[in-house]
Chains A and B, each alone.
Chain A
Amino acid sequence: TQLLEQSPQFLSIQEGENLTVYCNSSSVFSSLQWYRQEPGEGPVLLVTVVTGGEVKKLKRLTFQFGDARKDSSLHITAAQPGDTGLYLCAGGTDKLIFGTGTRLQVFP
């Protein structure tokens, strides 16, 4: 069974700080996706990483896929209150398995 563990589980920071969220597995994934979910809504896809070692940037968000394709990280630079939400990594072929989630709260 493929499992995705995320850390930290909760993160509470001030506006302007940097942060990193980790997604780890003992299984190899052909690709990993990152989603963000706001309260009362479904998750929304942010990015897909497909190649070991790949780095993708989305404005202030930087996503990296581990060389062995077992882990990924999400780094946010100069966090803003609008970044608040539940961040989820997900992987799989026929069906997506989601990670345990990281709840981020950014205070002004």
Chain B
Amino acid sequence: DTGVSQDPRHKITKRGQNVTFRCDPISEHNRLYWYRQTLGQGPEFLTYFQNEAQLEKSRLLSDRFSAERPKGSFSTLEIQRTEQGDSAMYLCASSLNGGRNEKLFFGSGTQLSVL
């Protein structure tokens, strides 16, 4: 068990460029979550998957954001036409099956800076 890993750890991009982040969850975990966090604030929910199915996407999430989990293992989060307001830490978490009392295991995040 190597934990949840995210790649890259840091990404600097220019406004208008597309970026893609990858998350590898704990291998036997069926649930995978994406959160966004700005400095000093709590993580904000973006979307989550049960295996390969995307079950919910935040209403606050722009159409420029898309996430996939094609084989129910790793996941990617793509942001198209980045804006300065997209600058944040993007966190991925996984859990065994989801539901009440389920423990989330977080990765170390991808810090995105949009110039």
A positions within 8 Å CB-CB of B: 4, 6, 9, 30-31, 33, 40-45, 48, 50, 86, 88, 90, 93-101, 103
Indicate if the CB atoms of B109 and A42 lie closer than 8 Å: yes
Indicate if the CB atoms of A101 and B56 lie closer than 8 Å: no
6 new A-B contacts at CB < 8 Å, known A4-B42, A42-B91, A96-B45: A42-B93, A42-B108, A95-B33, A95-B48, A96-B33, A103-B40
Indicate if the CB atoms of A95 and B91 lie closer than 8 Å: no
Chain B, range 13-71, C-beta contacts under 8 Å to A: 33, 35, 40-45, 48, 55-56
Interface of A is mostly: loop
CB distance from A47 to the nearest CB of B (A): 10
The answer to whether A43 and B45 touch (CB under 8 A), given A31-B100, A93-B99, is no
The answer to whether A101 and B106 touch (CB under 8 A), given A31-B100, A94-B98, A95-B56, is no
- CB contact between B41 and one of A94, A95, A101 (< 8 Å): that residue: A101
